[in-house]
Structures are given as structure tokens and as C-alpha cells.
A and B are shown apart, each in its own frame.
Chain A
Amino acid sequence: MIAEFAHGALWLAAALCLMQLGLGVAALRGEQAISRAIRPIAAIQALLVVTAFAALIWLFWRTDLSVALVAANSHSAKPLLYKIAGAWGNHEGSMLLWLTVLTGSGALFAAFEKRLEARTMAASLAAQAAIGIGFFAFLLLSSNPFERLNPSAVEGKGLNPLLQDPGLAFHPPTLYLGYVGLSVAFSLAVGAMLTGSVGSALARAMRPWVLGSWIFLTAGILAGSYWAYYELGWGGYWFWDPVENASLMPWIAATALLHSVGVLAARNALKAWTMMLALIGFSMSMVGTFLVRSGILTSVHAFAVDPERGAFILFLLTFYIGAALLIFGWKIGHVRDSEPFEPVSREGALVANNLLLSVILALVFIGTLYPILAEAMGEQISVGPPYFNTVIGPLALILALLLFVGPKLRWRRGGPLFSPLGIAGLLLSAAMLVITFLLGWNLTILERLGLSIAPGLALASLAPLWGRNLLRTPAPITGMVVAHLGLAVLLAGMAAESGFTKERLVLARPGEQIEVGPWTMEFEGTRPVAGPNWTAVEAELRASRGSGPVLLKPQSRYFSSPPTQTSEAALATDWDGQLYAVIGQGSESEGWQLRLWWKPLVTLIWLGGFLVTLGGLIALIGRWWGEWRRRRRLAGSGYRERRAW
């Protein structure tokens, strides 16, 4: 019964969504009284969808094999965590998750946004409902997750063992949260363009959604990258694979938007530009989803692929984004002129940041789609790291150099270009560049520049805190500094990983010693091990460099349902890097193939990524806290904020 109830709840929610669209349009046309009903409708709709999603999780938890989706994607022998994660580890479930997040954020937006002008609010909610209806139709008409199987299955078909990993179980939901957050920014932009009220108030309403989705996208990309790093066993953390690019493109757009929405909020400038970026942000989410789901790009990452579903997403994408861009072309001329500023100013630096990010976005976009274009012209081409690293690396470094001056510039008219810390950072970078030559490090240009820029950038990124009482610094500024510092750390990690990694590939017999960089690894031998639904050959490696030994146990796993073999890399983290070991084929008599890496400072990549995410979180929580205190103060002084509704 649960499945049928949940299915019914989804239909009801879809009807409410349609109603929200109608009421929103009516309110936009001036029927103010009607618009009051929108808020509860958005809330109930979200509640219904959340209930349906909870029901799906329950069905997966219980491994109810009379539900087709459960039978196809789960297995009674699977660990509980992956049973639950299986609920969204497939197409239907992930679409339901998408809707859950979409309606949930719609409800949050309707409930808590009180400062936006009423007509813009109604128009935005109508736009949000229009997006919702498309996905409701998609889910209910072509991919019902609650379809029954008659007779019910005896045993489930399992889940791709590569997906049985905590990192990946939570990777897609995190990315979805990011994508959908951008949909709110998209709806707000559409609403504001329709009512012609693009300005600071809109930017303030949009900013938490952009910041929130940017945090989730950053975290999601990091999780995915770390998953690829230790689960695939290829020794790398980023492969410029289409699926990776599909998640990177919305992130780049969101990063640009995050910076320009700040300009719009503070200075009422860059109006058209910010609206365009808000449209591009969600467009990239849709394009990314389309590329991943339609299978028009072959990827090494496992994903459910179906051209028909791809066609549906393409239809939605064309409709929504086409409509939004039409509105942009038609209405943006009516948006009043932005406030002027000088080239050397905070605005100027942020424009440069936006232009660079846009160029990077365009390069990733073109590189990702070029294989399709080439195929249309009769050639088969693959575009990989050589292209992306060459064209994007230098631009990313220029962006890093911009950070030496940008954050410390003044709004509107610039003071001195360099702050004291900016100069100190630049000197440190120059000194570092000389040092890399003096030490005779054999590096590529990009690695050398990256290693030089990183420490200087770390110093310069602290400049906004210069001369401030750290305890009284506004949280958004602290957050910005932490995120920029994180970028410096990330840059150092990437350059070091690329420049200093030592790799050995050997055929070893038990008892043999292998040198990798400063480490000596002793191969103790292999033994069979078994997990709940797999068996494996596990190698034991004892690594040492003067100090006490570290034990590494890479595995080669065999899953029975479906029959698959995967490599489980073994990682050992030390203060200055990570050892990484993979076991390949072999036998007791001939020896085993071992692939061993010493990756100095690779940990900085994860530390830097963590700092970037943390910076975003500090800024977001700081703004919430500030808003909450402001309301408390207003309430305390006996002043009731006039509701816009």
C-alpha cells in the first residue's frame, strides 16, 4: 500500500504545482489577494513529495521486491547504508530526489523570503512552479518509481558495486542540492526581469541560494573527485571526463554568479550581467544532467543512460532556458542603468573575475561538446586532459593572480592597487619562483608557476583581515578569506601532486622490496578476504622511511551480483603526502602486479577544497545569523516588519 499512497501523493503534489503556477500568474497580473494562497500550497506540495521520497527509502530499506525499482536496484544481502542509498542510485529515484529538493527549496523560499516585493515574489514562484511541473510530468508519465512487479521478484538485481561506496552514495544528492539551489536563482531572475525590478533587493534575496548551492556543488565535486581518487584506483583525482565536466560547469557559473550577485547587492551594478549568469547557472545544471543521462557522450563513469529520457530532459531544457532567454532579450532593455564605476575598483576586479570564469566555462563547454560536433562532421575525436590542462591552466593562474589585489580594492573608485599584504605576497611568490629554479626542481611551467603563486596567494588572501579586530570581522569577510586561502592551498596541492608524484609499477613476489620515492615498501604477500557480497585478494605492504612502518592493504574485489571486479586502492596518509597502492593481476608463483605511488602534498588538495567549502559555510551562516539578530532587534524594539504579503 505504501507504494500506492506515495504515488498518489506525487499526483496530488503535481496538481498543487499546477495551481501554484496559475496563482502566480494571476498575482503577476495584479490579483494580489489570490497570491496569499501560494505559500501554503508550496509548503503542502513539498510535504507530499518529501513523504513520497521517504516512502521510497522505506521500500528500499525493507527491500520490498514487489516494487520493480527495488527489485532492479537492490539486493537483500546489501549493507543497509547502500540499500538506502540505492533509493536514489537509479534514474527514477534520482528524479524523485530532484523533485524533493526542488519543491523543498520552493517551500523554504516561499516561507522565509519576506523582503522581496510581492509581484516579483509571485512571478518567481510561478517560474519555480513551471520548472516543477516539467519534472512532475517526467517522473509520473515516464519514470514512475513506485511501479509494482507482478509477480514480485525472488531476489534483487543488486547495485553496481562501484556505487557501493559512502562517497558516491552521497555524491549525487549533494550535487542535486546545488543544481536545484541554482533553479531558485533562475526563477528569481526570471521573476525580476518580468516585473522589471532587478536591483539590490533582488540580489539580497538571491544571494543565499547562490551561496548555498555553490557550497553543495563544491562539496559534491570534492566528494566525487575523492571517490574517483580512491575507488577507481587510477591514481588521479580529476580526469576531465564528461561526467566530471557536467558537474564542473554549473560550479564555474555559480562561482561567477556568486561574485557578481555581491556587486549587484552592494552597488546596484552589473544588473544585466548578473541576470544572465543566473540563467546560465541553472542552464548548466540542466545541460550537465542532459549530457550525463542521455548518454550522448561516452564516459568512463557508470551511469544509467537512456536516449529517450535524454530527449525529455532536452525538451525541458530547451523550453525553460529558451523561454528565460527570450524574456531576457525582451525585458532586459527595460532594466534601469547600473551604477557606474572605475576600471580599477572592486567592481572592476570582479568583472575581470567574471570574464575569466566565463572564458573558462566556455572552454570546458566547448571541449566537452566538441566530440559530438566532430561526430556530426564525420570524425571521431576524444578531448581529454591535454586540451583542458593546456587551455585552462594558464587562465586559472591569471585568476589566482587577480586575487592578489581584488579583495582589497575599494568599491567604485580604486585606491592603491596593492595592499601591503598583496605586495608581500607578490614578493613571496617571486622568491618562491627563484627557489624552484635554485633547487633544480624539474617541473613544467604550469607546475612551477602554481607552486610559486600558491604561497604568495595564501599570504595575500589574508589582506582583507589586515588591520581588523578578528573577533569583530563580519562573517562574510572571514568566509571569503578562508575560501580564498583554501584556493591557495588547493593550488599548491595540485601543483605538487602533478610535479612531485613518484610512481612504480612492478611484478613482485612476496618478500620483495620496492622503492617508491623516499619509501621502502615490503611486499608481505596476499591472502583471500571476504565481505558481505564480495570476495577479494588482499595484498599486504609494509612501507617505511626511517620511522615506524605503515601497513597498506590494497584489494582486488569480485562481486557476485552483478559479476564485476573492482580495485580497492589502499591509502596511507602521512603529514606530507599520501602513499597509494593498487594490486593488479598475478599469482603466487609468478608474482603480483603492484602499482605504487608516493604523492607528496596531495592532501593539500582535499584540505584546500575543505577550506573553500568551509569559507562558503562561514559566509552563509554568518549572513543568516546577522539576519536573525536584525529581526530580533526589530521585534524587541516593538517594530513589526511590514509583511510584503
Chain B
Amino acid sequence: MVRRFLPLLLLLSFVGIAIWALTAEREEQVRSKLVGQPVPAFALEPAIEGKPGLSSADLAQSEGPRLVNIFASWCLPCKAEAPLLDALAGEGVPIDGIAVRDRPSDILAFLDEHGDPFERLGNDPRSEAMIALGASGVPETFIVDGRGVIRYHHQGPLMPADLPALRAAWEEAR
């Protein structure tokens, strides 16, 4: 009798594995191990005229936590997250930017079209700072506390659904 239901058991074990695979948190392969570590040393030239560049020293001597956003004008998801960053900047959240493999003219056009939430904006033409920070693409966003320690790392564009986690990390970093 059991034998007749054997195929059903096989199906259920398949479904079990599949549910696990669908729900399990799938860690990105190249995730930063730098959360909890000081920002690696880097110093970036200003990306556009009239706005200071960004260096790890700037982040280490800040009054409170700051958001660091790695983006590029050629990156589609960066456009998607731009409104949210603008809103955060409007709330008074200090945000610094790192423009990866980009041209000043393109960056200006991007900021014109999608708003400019950045206090400082470093130019990273060879992705050096991006790699030093352990980012594997654009956009990615970090929370760096006042002492220059990375407290939070978000990969991919910031979406409204990501805000609660971001705000929680922000409160903790204060």
C-alpha cells in the first residue's frame, strides 16, 4: 500500500526543496565583508565643478552618520532609485556620492534630470573606491557612521521597501 504512494512522497520532497530554494535568503556571491570595519582609504577628485570630492578622511571626521551612494549616469537602476535619494536628502539625511566610470558632462546631465541629493561627489573613473568598498556593481549604498565605520551595506537600487531596514540601521549608527 505504501508503495503506491511512493511517487507522492517523491513529489513532496521535491516541493520541499523547491520551497526552500524560493524562500531562502540568497546571499550575493560577492558581498562586502567590510560591515563593521573602517572605510578603506581612498581619495577621489571632485566629479563636477563646484562640489567637493570625497575621501575616506571626510567620512571619518563627520558629525554623524552619512549615506554613501555609488552610482553611474549610465546605470538604469540608478535612475530608479534617484527619487528616493532626493526624498531622503530633503529630510536632511547627508548623502555623499561616488560616480563610477563616468564623465563629468554625463553626471551633470544625470543630476539635472534626476535631482542632486549629494553633498560631496567623488569621481571614480577606474572603480577603485568602488572595489575598495567591496561593492560589486552600481548602484550600492552604505551607511558610514561618524567615526568612519561602515554600518550598513545595501546592494542594488534603494526601493521604498528597503527603507525600514535602512532607517533601522541609520538609528543604530547614530
Contact = CB atoms under 8 A, between A and B. Distances in A.
B8 A329 contact: yes
B14 interface: yes
Interface in B5-59: 5, 7-8, 11-12, 14-15, 17-22, 24
B4 interface: yes
A369 B22 contact: no
Interface residues of A, number: 28
A279 B24 CA distance: 29
A307 interface: yes
A643 B19 CA distance: 47
B21 A325 contact: no
Interface in A292-339: 294, 296, 307, 310-311, 314, 317-318, 321-322, 325-326, 328-330, 332-333
Contacts, number: 56
A328 B19 CA distance: 24
A295 to B, nearest CB: 9
A614 interface: no
A329 B15 contact: no
Contacts of B22: 294, 296, 307, 310-311, 314
Q: Which of A311, A317, A372 has the most CB of B within 10 A?
A: A372
Contacts of A318: 11, 15
A393 to B, nearest CB: 25
Contacts of A280: 7
Contacts of B8: 322, 325-326, 328-329
A150 B55 CA distance: 44
A287 interface: yes
A325 B7 contact: yes
B7 A276 contact: yes
Contacts of A431: none
B19 A325 contact: no
Contacts of B18: 290, 294, 296, 314, 372
A369 B4 contact: no
A283 interface: yes
A325 B5 contact: yes
A81 interface: no
Given A314-B22, A329-B5, A369 B11 contact: no
Given A322-B12, A325-B11, A372 B21 contact: yes
Nearest to A290: B18
A368 B22 CA distance: 16
Contacts of B24: 375-376
A287 B21 CA distance: 14
Max chain A Cβ within 10 angstroms of own Cβ: one of B18, B22, B24: B18
A373 B4 contact: no
B14 A369 contact: yes
Contact of B20 (A290, A322, A376): A376
Contacts of B19: 314
Contacts of A330: 4
Interface string A360-376: 00000000010011011
Contacts of A328: 4, 7-8
A293 to B, nearest CB: 11
B11 A322 contact: yes
B15 A333 contact: no
A314 B4 contact: no
Contacts of B20: 372, 376
B11 A375 contact: no
A322 to B, nearest CB: 6
Given A317-B15, A322-B12, 19 more contacts: A276-B7, A280-B7, A296-B21, A310-B22, A314-B18, A318-B11, A318-B15, A322-B8, A325-B11, A326-B8, A328-B7, A329-B4, A329-B7, A333-B4, A369-B14, A373-B17, A375-B21, A375-B24, A376-B21
Interface of B: 4-5, 7-8, 11-12, 14-15, 17-22, 24
27 contacts: A279-B7, A280-B7, A287-B14, A290-B18, A296-B18, A296-B22, A307-B22, A311-B22, A314-B15, A314-B18, A317-B15, A322-B11, A322-B15, A326-B8, A328-B8, A329-B7, A330-B4, A332-B4, A333-B4, A369-B14, A369-B17, A372-B17, A372-B20, A375-B21, A376-B17, A376-B20, A376-B24
Top 6 nearest A-B pairs (CB, nearest first) are A329-B4, A325-B8, A329-B5, A296-B21, A372-B21, A318-B15
